[in-house]
Amino acid sequence: MDNKNRQEANDNIEVWEDLVRIKDLVLAIAICAITTMGAYFIAPNEAPKPLFFGLAGALIGFIICSFIIKPKRNFKGTGEK
Amino acid sequence: MDIVLIIEMIAAAVLAAVLYTIIGVAPGTDETAVLAPVTLAIVLAGVEPIVVLTFFISAIVANKVTDSIPVALAGIPGGVMATPMVEHALVLKKHGMPDISIRKMASGSVIGTLVSVPVSLLMAQALIPFSDVIKEYANPLFFIGAVLLALMTKNKVLALVSILPFALLIEGLRHLYWGIGVVPEGTNVFISFFLGITIGPVILTIFELLHKEKRDSMPRFPKKTIDFAQTNPIKGFPSPFKILTKQETASSVLASFIGSITFIMSPVGMTIFLGELFSSRVKDPVKKASVAIASMEGLTNATYISGTLIPLIALGIPLSPMAIGPANALFNAPPVFTTEHNLHHILSNADFVWATLIGATIALAITYFVTVKYAHKICAFVFRWVPHEAILGLFFGLVLLLAFMDAGFINIIGVLVIGLFAGMLHRWGVNYGVQFMILYSAPWIITWF
């Protein structure tokens, strides 16, 4: 397992104390931007609904990203005894 | 207080505790960046002020307890405030005691909360007689705050010199917006500039990705290998006071007390200073590390609670690094809250006590239970399933949304400008505290010319 991981390309950079792959980061930002602003604009135009829609959009973007992007972390150790 | 309101407060506290347990565990999440936008959104959505405060108190307590879980298990801080503890937690991990380390941290948190709530309420009462004088000089005080915090940074001259240009940039954008009519004259765009500063380091990095030589010269890493320590599941629920030795309890209480009364100082700075001070006299490495993590955890909790509550109850203006950063939305979130009309003016003393008690108790009950019992599972879940890209994307989306709501499309560009400048300052060591103080004092600084 360890060996295989070492052969993977070193293509992660550090942003805000954790690793990201540039392509994935661009993708995540694009997805969240589209879902957030998309939801904001389709909301009925009476306060505070656009804000709520926008927040829900941001959350949906976050969930989509969590599904399609793999974290750049490997695990050692077996966890709970 | 009616029963519906109490139920709403309890619901808000539970929601905050669950949400911030997950966020707290996620690595690299800066406290200001995770607390400020969500609190802002809740304020702007028109939630009852007392419910907002309950939510916030629960959020800070939960976030503080859980951001040290990954420190104990993997030596990776779950947030900036957990960074000073890494060294000591690694000692305990090396000795095969990560579970003890987690329990001691959680107990330290409980003590920090128990100490800081009454101390903050008393300190606030003691400050009230002086509040009119302090408020009258609020603008110069923010400027003095910027200067003082600048003097505490590593590159003092750099931080001092950056005050005027940054103030000019902020006011320049505001006057531009008035000039072209996207916001009415006299309305200060605030929220999105605040978030621009918060997310500045990320914006700067993203810009650098467009710079070919910079991009090629950036250090590249393989996947981060996280060495998870084994833990022994325990049965039953030990009392937090039985987990700590007398010495650890005493130093946590003392550290929390000092942390509460020095609410004007930087929380990270105080944590490092006092944590090292208390543990330096202990020789045995394991005992030393235990004293350090218990007292640091108590202290960070205490500085967070007191840094929020004291300025909120006594002054109504955000005169502490905590108040001006993560808790900022409680003081200033136009149009709902302004520095003339915020929680300080709306809530009574009894309201403050109730909101704090409900928020802190529920957060402690949930997170203490969870940390002592399920720390390992939660940590593994977050590390395995939540990519850092998704967290960055989420913040980016939030900033975009609030920037647009503040002043339309042009402000998205404005926030990029602020973020670039602030990110550069941040990288040079001019910390958030200095930058937020400048943001507050900018309108006053410009009146000199």
Exposure letters B105-114 (e unless 16+ CB within 10 A, then b): bbbbbbbbbb
Measured between alpha carbons, how far is B229 from B380 in angstroms, rounded to an integer? 11
In a 10 Å sphere around its CB, with 0-12 CB exposed, 13-18 middle and 19+ buried, how is residue A79 labelled?
middle
Name residues 381-410 of chain B within 8 A of A (Cβ): 383-394, 396-398, 400-401, 404-405
Query: pLDDT higher for B165 or A10?
Result: B165
Confidence of residue B257 (pLDDT cuts 50, 70, 90): very high
For residue B358, the model assigns a pLDDT of 92
Contacts of A5 in chain B (CB under 8 A): 222-223, 225
Partners of B227 in the β-ladder: A76
For residue B237, the model assigns a pLDDT of 66
Confidence of residue B235 (pLDDT cuts 50, 70, 90): low
For residue A1, the model assigns a pLDDT of 41
- How do residues B112-135 score in pLDDT, each as one tens digit? 988 998 999 899 989 888 888 888
For residue B182, the model assigns a pLDDT of 92
- Over range B264-279, report the average pLDDT: 77
Out of B28-32, B370-374, B416-420, B428-432, least confident range: B28-32
Confidence of residue B421 (pLDDT cuts 50, 70, 90): very high
| Chain B nearest CA to A41, separation (Å) | 10
Query: pLDDT higher for B314 or B229?
Result: B314
- Over range B149-157, report the average pLDDT: 86
- How do residues B2-25 score in pLDDT, each as one tens digit? 889 999 999 999 999 988 888 887
- Over range B195-208, report the average pLDDT: 87
Q: Do B201 and A16 count as a contact with CB atoms less than 8 A apart?
A: yes
CB neighbours of B220 closer than 8 A, spacing ≥ 6? A10, A11, A12, A13
Q: B335 preceded by cis ω (within 30°)?
A: yes
Q: Of B211, B223, B384, B396, which to mutate for an interface test with A (greatest number of A Cβ within 10 Å)?
A: B223
Does residue B289 surpass a pLDDT of 60? yes
Taking the model in full, what pTM does it have? 0.80
Helices (H), B26-155: 31-44, 49-66, 69-74, 86-94, 98-127, 131-136, 138-151
Chain B, nearest residue to A13 by Cα: B220
Contacts of B388 in chain A (CB under 8 A): 15-16, 18-20, 71-72
Average pLDDT, chain B: 86
- Residue B335, chain A, CB below 8 Å: the answer is no
Measured between alpha carbons, how far is B29 from B385 in angstroms, rounded to an integer? 16
For residue B181, the model assigns a pLDDT of 92
CB neighbours of B70 closer than 8 A, spacing ≥ 6? B25, B27, B76, B77, B78, B82, B379, B383
Measured between alpha carbons, how far is B341 from B335 in angstroms, rounded to an integer? 10
For residue B57, the model assigns a pLDDT of 94
Q: Do A66 and B228 count as a contact with CB atoms less than 8 A apart?
A: no
For residue B364, the model assigns a pLDDT of 87
List the single residue in B222, B233, B405 with the smallest CB-CB distance to A51: B405
Does residue B259 surpass a pLDDT of 60? yes
- How do residues B433-448 score in pLDDT, each as one tens digit? 889 889 989 999 999 9
Which residue type is seen at B173? L
Give percent of chain B above pLDDT 90.
24
For residue A6, the model assigns a pLDDT of 43
For residue B424, the model assigns a pLDDT of 95
Does residue A8 surpass a pLDDT of 60? no
CB A35: neighbour CB atoms within 10 A? 23
Contacts of B192 in chain A (CB under 8 A): none
Contacts of A80 in chain B (CB under 8 A): 230-233, 376-377
DSSP, collapsed to helix, strand or coil, labels residue B399 as helix
Confidence of residue B234 (pLDDT cuts 50, 70, 90): low
Do B65 and B368 contact (CB within 8 A), yes or no? Answer: yes
Sign of the dihedral defined by the CA atoms of residues B171, B173, B175, B178, in that order: negative
Q: Of B76, B80, B389, which to mutate for an interface test with A (greatest number of A Cβ within 10 Å)?
A: B389
| Chain A nearest CA to B446, separation (Å) | 32
Sign of the dihedral defined by the CA atoms of residues A24, A28, A31, A34, in that order: negative
Does residue B390 surpass a pLDDT of 70? yes
Please give the span between the terminal C-alpha atoms of chain B, in angstroms, as a whole number: 50
Helix (H) or strand (E) holding A74: strand A73-76
Helix axis angle, B49-66 to B349-385, nearest 10°: 40
